[in-house]
Amino acid sequence: MNDIKKIHLIGIGGAGMSGIAEILINLGYIVSGSDLAKTPITERLVSLGAKISFKHGSKNVLNKDLIVVSSAILKKNPEVIEAKRLKIPIIKRAEMLANLMMLKESVAIAGSHGKTTITCILAHIFSFNKLDPTYIIGGKVESFASNAKLGKGDHIFTEADESDGSFLLLRPRKAVIANIDNDHLETYNNNIEELKKSFKNFCLNIPFHGRIFANGDSSEVLDVIENLPRNITSYGFSEINDFQISDFSQNKNGSEFSLSNKSNKKKMKFKTNMIGRHNVSNTVAAIIVALDEGISYEDIKDSLEKFIVIERRFQLISEKVFNKDIVLIDDYGHHPNELGVSINTVKEVWPERKLLVVFQPHRYTRTKALFQEFIDILASCENLILLEVYPASESPIPNYESENLIREIHKKNPSAVLVTGIEEAYEAMSDFIEDNFVFLTQGAGNTSLLAEKFKNK
């Protein structure tokens, strides 16, 4: 029998893969990997003992016992081809994640939006209360050393990725269903009903003694959980929910809200430094999981009032952009609905200010699938800077590039600007130097590099 000791991760620098790599290193495995670029993430992994090649090549998989591939890796990758030739087992990232989840009391966070935010908040609540959880997060929390940790506690928190259907490999004890939207439909025959069916199958992976925490404000989620033979707790702003959010208010420093538990008639009050109704909904998802796991209301409340910043989740970067009275918000959202939520939040928190939106589309497939939705939301922006599509390893799709978007946007908003690259976007932003503005940089590609230019200025 062959013992698995040497594990090689192709695409090790990705958010999900890097977290798995760090956990494997801490478990004592000999970890190697490959990626195309050095980043702070890969530097951290190297410092922990991983051997990383920054070029994909067949020699990278020699003498390895197991290969793990991310969903972004193609079958024609030379390392995949060589591993198959050498008959080295190859598994998907989600399959490795499923194995790691068996080590602990597992909670998986699923949904089209908000997975990283909820997972971060859960990890924060449990860490603050000295429960030392294991977590693998797709984003970065400023108060955490990294996006993954092997804790000594009983719990593991991780995101369940529906984008390639791989979340069906997971068998968590409990799960959150944050929302369901028309994203990644290319995996589901461009049919949202197929996507919802996949979410239902994921819910059926939860054992009968487990529990599902479902956003009852989402009609699509309600469709999925209807008559589902599982323990379900719903949350949201609507009065139909088991936990109802009320008394919501927000300003630039954060949000306050009440949360009513219908089962015991108790009303709890919370504060968080996160802004936006969507982030309050995400916070509540984490709260009710923590309550269900036995953490007291007072301990949860205290943990939320302590500083926690999740990078690129409606993050306030600066209030003195270009040394003017200009606020800069940076957000990861890359779906038309996410962009709409960010815009509405800006208008609610800063109603008297003008808004400049700097948006970078993410993936050609998404741009094609949601082309008209992108045009509708972007054309409604009075001030808009549009970057080229961030490909995320995809090849361009003719007629669905930023040039095509701007052409249609100009029919309704001729002042919108198309730029190439971060430096050109930065220069274009300087044309809006005027007090009483909010700049919103939005996208899942490298727009964070643009926001970085304004930090500490």
Q: How many Å apart are CA 433 and CA 427, to the nearest integer?
A: 11
Determine which helix (DSSP H) or strand (DSSP E) holds 222, and give its type and residue range: helix 219-225
CB burial readout 294-306, b (16+ within 10 A) else e:
ebebebbeebbee
Instruction: Specify whether the CB–CB gap between 236 and 260 falls below 8 A.
Output: no
What distance separates the 2 farthest-apart alpha carbons in the chain?
69
CB burial readout 13-40, b (16+ within 10 A) else e:
bbbbbbbbbbbbbbeebbbbbbbeeeee
Q: How many Å apart are CA 185 and CA 188, to the nearest integer?
A: 5
Instruction: Specify whether the CB–CB gap between 50 and 74 falls below 8 A.
Output: no
Comparing C-alpha atoms, which of 115, 144, 142 is closest to residue 132?
144
CA distances from 61 to 10, 17, 57, 92, 237 (A): 9, 17, 8, 16, 50
Strands 66-69 and 51-53: unpaired
Comparing C-alpha atoms, which of 103, 102, 74 is closest to residue 90?
74
174 is a catalytic site residue: no
Comparing C-alpha atoms, which of 261, 255, 345 is closest to residue 304?
255
The token pair at 231 is 């323990």
Active-site residue (options: 116, 119, 345, 447): 116
116 is a catalytic site residue: yes
Residue 375 neighbours by CB under 8 Å, 6+ apart:
405, 408, 409
Q: How many Å apart are CA 317 and CA 16, to the nearest integer?
A: 25
Please identify which residue in the block is written with the tokens 């490999």: 169
Q: How many Å apart are CA 265 and CA 277, to the nearest integer?
A: 23
Active-site residue (options: 22, 79, 159, 401): 159
Phi, psi of 49 (to 5 degrees): 120, 0
Torsion of CA 64, 70, 76, 80, to 10 degrees: 10
Residue 120 neighbours by CB under 8 Å, 6+ apart:
137, 139, 141, 144, 308, 310, 313
Active site residues: 115-116, 159
